[in-house]
Amino acid sequence: MSLVKLKKKWAAEPSAKELPFINDMPLVFLGEIPNMPEHGVFAGHRSGQIYSGYHIFRFVELSDKEV
């Protein structure tokens, strides 16, 4: 498990504002979905809500300074 956030490139897209987890970041990356390569399961750090099926390449692990 690790704390992640959207990469700057993806967070800057207008459609990012519509993502259900945008106000629940950082997210806890729980792992990749076995039957959906490159898609992951995430939990909101604040809410605990589960978000699944999002491309893992759109996220980056938080740095030590951000944690």
Please spell the DSSP secondary structure of 10-52, one letter per residue: HHTSGGGGG-TTTTS-SEEEEEE-TTSTTEEEEEETTT--EEE
Q: What is the per-residue pLDDT for 1?
A: 81
Q: What is the per-residue pLDDT for 67?
A: 81
Could you tell me which of 63, 67, 49, 55 has the C-alpha nearest to residue 9?
55
Could you tell me which of 26, 23, 21 has the C-alpha nearest to residue 53?
21
pLDDT in tens, 16-63: 999 999 999 999 999 999 999 999 999 999 999 999 999 999 999 999
In this structure, are residues 29 and 5 in contact, taking their beta carbons and an 8 Å threshold?
Answer: no
Report the alpha-carbon distance of residue 31 to residue 2 in Å, rounded. Answer: 9
